[in-house]
Amino acid sequence: MNLREAEKTIAELREQISRHDYLYYVLAEPEISDQHYDKLYRQLLDLETQYPDLVTPESPTQRVGGQPLEGFAQVTHAVPMLSIDNTYNEGELREFDRRVAKGLSGERYTYVLDPKIDGVAISLRYEEGQLVLAATRGDGERGDDITQNARTIRAIPLRLKAGGDLFSGKIPEVVEVRGEVFWPTADFEKYNKQREAAGEPTFANPRNATAGTLKQLDSRIVAQRRLSFMAHGFGRIEPLSVESHWDLFQRFKAWGIPTNPHIKRVEDIDAVVREIHAWDKKRHAMAYATDGVVVKVDCIDQRRKLGVTSRSPRWCIAYKFAAERARTRLHSVRFQVGKLGTITPVANLEPVLLAGTTVKSASLHNFDQIERLGVRVGDFVYVEKAGEIIPQVVEVDEKDRPKDTRPIMPPEQCPVCSSKTVRDEGGVFLRCVSPACPAQIKERLRYFCGRDQMDIEGVGTALAEQLVDSGLVTEFADLYCLKDRREELVALERMGPKSADNLLAAIEKSKGNPLSRLLAALNIQHVGVNTAELLAERFGSMDALLAADAEELQEIEGIGPEVATSIIEFMHGKGGKRTIEHLRSIGVNRTEPKRNRSAEYRYFFDKTIVVTGTLERFSRQEAEDLIKSRGGRTAGSVSGKTAFVVAGKNPGSKLDKARDFGVEVIDETEFIIRAGMSS
């Protein structure tokens, strides 16, 4: 390829990528899978690496920028970002409508309704179509300059599209977009699962996690978390050629700015109330959390007439849905020790009914959270279930604080093994660092035997506890010696000869697992299933991996300095070295089979895959044969064990199930790519 051809291909790829961003974020009608998109992106990145002179700031590859910042600069908003009045009841909503009617003295008016996404409000400034500034709301007058971080969010266009057929007019010189950055629920949960698997503390909820992410000084971290964005308002627009919010938002869409597809324009307050009730029913099925509906007067001139109070506009109100919450008393706090020693405070509550179940405890997450809430032992607290299964303490009833409350003190000793606790850098998390801590050994053992690790069925929390407490297992290698202590094993409560033999057989079988599973099972900090596979694939054997240094590890895409250090520290630290040596001496496999290393096998080998719906190029049988020919298994229904779902036309209920389990869904094109059959 010569320079001119490269230039042309780069321009085409950029055009395609920005078109797919538009289809995905603005029209919500993606034409290609995420994997296909990633492929285009990688092609562009490769070409730009070859021809660095052709890189421009608005290339999609330039979203992740440069060096971490030292801090955020403060910026003043051209138009203040006011807060919006809230209400939880219909009466107040109608009262708001009466004030609007009075303020407009008889003029006709209409409302626009916009679902209120539970995220973080920001302002984006475009000058001559280019994104020049992104800022947090701050105190409404001044916020932080987070441009570098906002650029990493794919939903935020770096450059506005010229209006297309819809509007012949030019993009105004200055366009300030106000909107919400949020973390789509499924992506958030997936990210939390990865953190959990890698032994890192999980985030409490998507909104706090989004706020924390936007304040990261290193934009590369922001880029890894798949935040999204939707516009809900505007600041300065010069020149402004439209008369209503509704019309402006049609232009936003044409310019490539994502807006909520559920925005509605309605005639009067009765219609507002009807829409709000309808929305309350369907909002839980949305890909993001919403906690209400924002009701705004549509006409921009009428907004000016109505004006603002000292804190909020008179033309706008947020109707908020009451969260499912309950008030109860916090009796005490217990501390749980995770597999890598992280100590999590959990509230013991007076049992209370919440969203159909009795709640006895709620997570307090970490000591920062305790401080933020200002919660004390003996307080009356509000607990909520916000999409998550584990209830959260969200608020303290400070007005009704009993006299005898006590502060919650971080434990100086591990609640299980009594060794001294250590605070993480940043001081948010406490850890027990004793390698002999039984709580950690139990958690690690359970994890070692997990489905994505050594896959030894039957070793759950209860059995792991029994094995450790009885002294039968003090380290992983002891599992493989249990066959010599069968009688003691049989004697465990709820065990018996049959289940003992099944367990011993499962343990013996796991010796033959590929290296990737063993690496995933070892509880190396930051090494989950994906990283373990990358390592096994690259090095092929434990011995080769042990011989590698941090630099060689970082040659693998996806492994940064932090992960590399963690691997080296484990492999060559006293505990890790001994663990690996003992597992070797009892004959656990230390190699990765070669056959699944070729590209065609990578996605299929040893995986369970579900095909659903009608494919164009294959019959169901042909697709399943193809999967089997590449070392995979097929199944008729989706479960937690499913690696991914191939969906054709009319896929039916299996898609919902895939979503429930958080299983990846791919289309036929992607299937062909994965099978190595695309030309």
Catalytic residues: 116
User: Binding Zn ion by CB under 5 A: which of 112, 113, 171, 416?
Assistant: 416
Residue 205 has a CB neighbour count (10 Å cut-off) of 19
Phi-psi region of 240 (alpha: psi -120 to 50; beta: other; left: phi over 0): beta
User: Binding Zn ion by CB under 5 A: which of 266, 352, 417, 568?
Assistant: 417
455 versus 465: smaller Cβ distance to Zn ion: 465
643 scored as a contact of Zn ion (CB under 5 A): no
Q: Which two tokens stand for residue 97?
A: 């409508």
Nearest distance, CB of residue 423 and Zn ion, angstroms: 15
Please list every residue from 290 through 319 that binds Zn ion, using CB under 5 A.
Answer: none
Please list every residue from 208 through 247 that binds Zn ion, using CB under 5 A.
Answer: none
Residues listed for the chain? 679
Nearest distance, CB of residue 519 and Zn ion, angstroms: 25
Phi, psi of 275 (to 5 degrees): -65, -40
The contact pattern for Zn ion, residues 252-271, with x = CB under 5 A and - = no contact, is: --------------------
Nearest distance, CB of residue 49 and Zn ion, angstroms: 47
> By CB under 5 A, which span of 55-63, 116-124, 430-438, 569-577 interacts with Zn ion?
430-438
Burial label for 104, CB within 10 Å (0-12, 13-18, 19+), is middle
Gap between the Cα atoms of 555 and 152, Å rounded: 23
Burial label for 89, CB within 10 Å (0-12, 13-18, 19+), is exposed
437 versus 482: smaller Cβ distance to Zn ion: 437
43 versus 419: smaller Cβ distance to Zn ion: 419
Which ranges constitute the DSSP H helices of 527-653? 529-539, 542-547, 550-554, 561-572, 574-585, 599-602, 620-629
Nearest distance, CB of residue 437 and Zn ion, angstroms: 3
Nearest distance, CB of residue 582 and Zn ion, angstroms: 21
Nearest distance, CB of residue 418 and Zn ion, angstroms: 7
441 versus 645: smaller Cβ distance to Zn ion: 441
**# residues contacting Zn ion (CB under 5 A):** 6
Identity at 615, one-letter amino acid code: L
H or E stretch including 502?
helix 496-510
- What does the angle CA 87 – CA 88 – CA 91 come to, to the nearest 5 degrees? 80
CB contact at 8 A, 327 and 393: no
349 versus 439: smaller Cβ distance to Zn ion: 439
338 versus 528: smaller Cβ distance to Zn ion: 338
Cα 625 to its chain centre, rounded Å, is 34
CA neighbor of 671 nearest in space, from 611, 586, 591, 596:
611
Q: How far apart are the first and last CA of the chain?
A: 19
Pairing of strands 228-238, 174-182: antiparallel
User: Binding Zn ion by CB under 5 A: which of 432, 468, 627, 673?
Assistant: 432
342 versus 642: smaller Cβ distance to Zn ion: 342
Nearest distance, CB of residue 579 and Zn ion, angstroms: 18
422 scored as a contact of Zn ion (CB under 5 A): no
Nearest distance, CB of residue 415 and Zn ion, angstroms: 8
197 versus 416: smaller Cβ distance to Zn ion: 416
673 scored as a contact of Zn ion (CB under 5 A): no
26 scored as a contact of Zn ion (CB under 5 A): no
The contact pattern for Zn ion, residues 450-479, with x = CB under 5 A and - = no contact, is: ------------------------------
H or E stretch including 234?
strand 228-238
10 scored as a contact of Zn ion (CB under 5 A): no
Give me the half-sphere count of Cα atoms (radius 13 Å) on the Cβ side of residue 514. 19
User: Binding Zn ion by CB under 5 A: which of 414, 449, 626, 646?
Assistant: 414
Give me the half-sphere count of Cα atoms (radius 13 Å) on the Cβ side of residue 20. 17
Gap between the Cα atoms of 429 and 421, Å rounded: 10
437 scored as a contact of Zn ion (CB under 5 A): yes
Site residues, Zn ion (CB under 5 A) = 414, 416-417, 432, 434, 437
